[in-house]
């Protein structure tokens, strides 16, 4: 139960403003969810390098020595940029999995928020305004991003329970609604090898899409499969390295509104989230249809 936002830029000159625009959109949705907030920001990838966003409840203990402790496993490539309770570790892409595996042994307080070539994920308990400030989101540039503010329904209010959920490289998902078959689906995906961090229904949706894409489907096809396999009420906004997708369940009572101009595609739970966007007055504004996959790709848009 929540407020969700998404912004996908077509015009590269807007990229320096991505963080500012997305942060403002999310803060506007505060009333829809007071428990926790989070954002995923996709930046242009640097060839040969990957990023891991980690969070620690003991940031002052864990982060100062992190670069040094990862030196060996990363072949000396690890660089750590600390932002409050989060840190972004940049490593050579061929050392990504090894580094990620090594993190598990370093500290019981360290949690991986997400990883990939372009995504950085920031999420914490608290209001959007505080989360956005804490991580300096307004200063971030990027190509696309999604955000979420949460009113927790059945699972715990924790950092890991905050959205976006990332269950695959450069993939993440935010959700407004309430699923009703996620427990069975979680068990089934876990048997197939997915690891889960929470009891949250939305994490199951993210993992479902990751599994589908790992089997070779593109995001559009994975979302289409979700209509068949997920029960309950949902509006999803999903990010991949180069793409951005939106899906509503067939009943479609959770709100969703989209706007498109030559410069961007934007998503909000409510129109309020979109009013600060440049040129919104003349944008094409519409509500996504139920059970219809919407999907944009940076490579196709460019």
Partner 1 sequence: MTYQNPPMPPRKSATFDDHTMAEIRRAAATGIYDIRGGGTKRKLPHLDDLLFLGASMSRYPLEGYRETCGTGVTLGTRFAKKPIALKIPITIAGMSFGSLSANAKEALGRGASLAGTSTTTGDGGMTDEERGHSEILVYQYLPSRYGMNPRDLRRADAIEVVVGQGAKPGGGGMLLGQKISDRVAAMRDLPKGIDQRSACRHPDWTGPDDLEIKIGELREITDWEKPIYVKVGGARPYYDTALAAKAGADVVVLDGMQGGTAATQDVFIEHVGQPTLACIRPAVQALQDLGLHRSVQLVISGGIRSGADVAKAIALGADAVSIGTAALVAIGDNDPAYEEEYRKLGSTAGAYDDWHEGRDPAGITTQDPELMARLDPVRAGRRLANYLKVMTLEAQTIARACGHNHLHNLEPEDLVALTLEAAAMARVPLAGTDWYPGKAGF
Partner 2 sequence: MPVFDLAATPLRALNQALHGVAPGANDTAFEVLNPRGQHAVAVGIDGPVTVTVRGSVGYYCAGMNDGGTVTVQGSAGPGVAENMMSGTVVIEGDASQYAGATGRGGLLVIKGNAASRCGISMKGIDIVVHGSIGHMSAFMGQTGSLVVLGDAGEALGDSLYEAKLFVRGSVKSLGADCIEKPMRAEHREHLAVLLDRAGVTDVRPEEFRRYGSARTLYSFNIDNADAY
**Binding footprint of partner 2 on the chain (CB under 8 A):** 28, 252-253, 255, 257, 270-275, 285-287, 289-290
Q: What is the phi/psi pair of residue 152, to 5°?
A: -60, 135
Residue (50 or 269) nearer to partner 1, CB: 269
Contact with partner 1 (CB under 8 A): which of 6, 33, 114, 145?
Answer: 33
For the question of residue 253 being annotated catalytic, the response is no
Catalytic residue chosen out of the listed positions 2, 7, 91, 125: 2
Residue (75 or 288) nearer to partner 2, CB: 288
The angle formed by the CA atoms of residues 250, 23 and 37, to the nearest 5 degrees, is 65
Rounded Cα distance, 20 and 57, in Å:
26
Q: Is 2 in the site for partner 1 (CB under 8 A)?
A: yes
Contact with partner 1 (CB under 8 A): which of 112, 151, 280, 301?
Answer: 151
272 binds, among partner 1, partner 2, none (CB under 5 to 8 A by kind): partner 2
Residue (46 or 180) nearer to partner 1, CB: 180
34 binds, among partner 2, partner 1, none (CB under 5 to 8 A by kind): partner 1
Residue (1 or 98) nearer to partner 1, CB: 1
Contact with partner 1 (CB under 8 A): which of 17, 20, 34, 112?
Answer: 34
Residue (6 or 114) nearer to partner 1, CB: 6
Task: Give me the DSSP letters along the chain.
Answer: -EEEEEEEES-GGGGGGHHHHHHHHHHHTGGG--SEEEEEEE-PPPTTEEEEEEEETTHHHHSTTHHHHTTTTTTT--EEEEETTEEEEEEEGGGHHHHHHHHHHH-TTEEEEEEESSEEEEEEES-HHHHHHHTTGGG---SEEEEEEE--SSS--STTTSSPEEEETTEEEEEEEEESSHHHHHHHHHHTT---S-S-HHHHHHHHHHHHHHTT--HHHHHHHHHHH--EEEEEEEE-SSEEEEEE-SS--S--EEEE-SSEEEEESSGGGGTTSTTGGGSEEEPPPTT--EEEEHHHH-
33 binds, among partner 2, partner 1, none (CB under 5 to 8 A by kind): partner 1
289 binds, among partner 2, partner 1, none (CB under 5 to 8 A by kind): partner 2
Contact with partner 1 (CB under 8 A): which of 58, 253, 278, 286?
Answer: 253
Contact with partner 1 (CB under 8 A): which of 72, 154, 192, 231?
Answer: 154
CB of 290 to partner 2, least distance (A): 6
Stretch that binds partner 1, among 101-109, 125-133, 170-178, 218-226 (CB under 8 A): 170-178
32 binds, among partner 2, partner 1, none (CB under 5 to 8 A by kind): partner 1
Q: At what angle do helices 182-191 and 201-214 cross, to 10 degrees?
A: 40
Among 79, 153, 72, smallest CA distance to 106 is for: 72
- What is the contact surface with partner 1 in residues (CB under 8 A)? 1-3, 31-34, 151, 153-154, 176-178, 233, 253-255, 269
Write out the catalytic residue numbers: 2
């Amino acid at each position: 139960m929540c407020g969700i936002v998404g912004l996908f830029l077509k015009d590269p000159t807007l990229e320096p403003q991505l963080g500012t625009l997305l942060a403002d959109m999310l803060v506007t949705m505060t009333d829809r969810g007071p428990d926790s907030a989070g954002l995923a920001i996709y930046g242009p990838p640097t060839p040969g390098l990957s990023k891991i966003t980690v969070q620690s409840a003991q940031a002052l203990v864990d982060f100062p020595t992190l670069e040094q402790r990862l030196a060996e496993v990363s072949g000396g490539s690890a660089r750590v940029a600390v932002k409050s309770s989060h840190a972004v570790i940049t490593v050579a892409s061929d050392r990504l999995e090894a580094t990620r595996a090594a993190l598990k042994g370093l500290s019981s307080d360290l949690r991986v928020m997400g990883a990939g070539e372009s995504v950085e994920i920031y999420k914490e308990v608290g209001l959007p305004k505080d989360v956005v400030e804490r991580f300096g989101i307004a200063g971030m540039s990027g190509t696309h991003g999604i955000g979420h503010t949460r009113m927790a329904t059945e699972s715990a209010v924790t950092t890991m329970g905050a959205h976006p959920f990332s269950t695959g490289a450069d993939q993440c998902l935010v959700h407004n609604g309430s699923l009703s078959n996620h427990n069975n689906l979680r068990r089934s995906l876990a048997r197939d090898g997915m690891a889960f961090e929470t009891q949250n229904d939305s994490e199951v949706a993210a993992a479902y899409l990751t599994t589908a894409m790992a089997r070779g489907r593109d995001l559009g096809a994975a979302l289409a499969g979700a209509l068949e396999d997920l029960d309950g009420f949902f509006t999803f906004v999903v990010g991949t390295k180069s793409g951005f997708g939106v899906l509503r369940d067939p009943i479609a009572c959770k709100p969703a509104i989209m706007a498109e101009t030559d410069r961007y595609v934007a998503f909000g739970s409510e129109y309020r989230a979109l009013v600060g966007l440049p040129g919104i007055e003349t944008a094409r504004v519409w509500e996504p249809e139920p059970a219809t996959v919407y999907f944009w790709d940076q490579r196709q848009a460019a």
